[in-house]
Amino acid sequence: MKKRRAVLLIATLAFVLAFIVFSAPALAEPPTPFLIHGWVNYSNGTAVLNPNVMITNLNTSEVFTATTSPASNYYQVSTTSCNISAGDVLHFHVSDTNTTEFNHTVTQDEIDNGGFMQNITIAVPIVGICGDVTDDGIVNMGDVALLVNNVSYPGNPAYALNEWAGDVTGDNVLNMGDVALLVNNVSYPGNPAYNLNCR
């Protein structure tokens, strides 16, 4: 009888010990908060109020929609370490009038720090017609004249223009190449050799 009790006691203790050992790791590491946050601005520094920010964990396909406010360009995603791990690739899709997308790989330091800050820049929305440097709604010799003067007398405020519309070659430089293309475009309308290419 005593022998039976001793065996039963040992078996019970072994079961309890096994339960503690196997459940301890799960109990030892509860999920920790993880915050992704930052500010969204246009490339000219203007705040993008109430931006649309979606982050997809490409490793798990989980999608997080950021909390934003109509009065602010701040965004945040609050989750836990259950949903994001070191090495996960997060795909950011951020939009307003324009859109930008990029990937971010989560580091162990970011996991240890409870998240990271990611400021985002979106290109300034382009308004206007390519070649219409006068912003009057049409492309004509008036635009050519203003562009010639702007290129010939750089920095002169009398010849200020919409630089995006003036860069008709799309090379990010205003020069006589733009003037030549704009002259030909106005002189030979519809000729595909003289199509304008503002970017």
Global pTM exceeds 0.85: no
pLDDT digits (tens, 9 = 90+) for 52-84: 999 999 999 999 999 999 999 999 999 999 999
- What was the pLDDT predicted at 2? 57
Output DSSP code: residue 168: T
**Beta strands 120-122 and 33-42, pairing class:** parallel
In 3-state terms, what secondary structure has residue 121?
Answer: strand
Average pLDDT over residues 76-102: 94
The rounded percent of the chain whose pLDDT value lies above 70 is: 86
Confidence of residue 23 (pLDDT cuts 50, 70, 90): low
Output DSSP code: residue 158: G
Q: What is the distance between the alpha carbons of residues 26 and 66, in angstroms, rounded to a whole number?
A: 29
The vertex-39 CA angle with 124 and 94, nearest 5°, equals 60
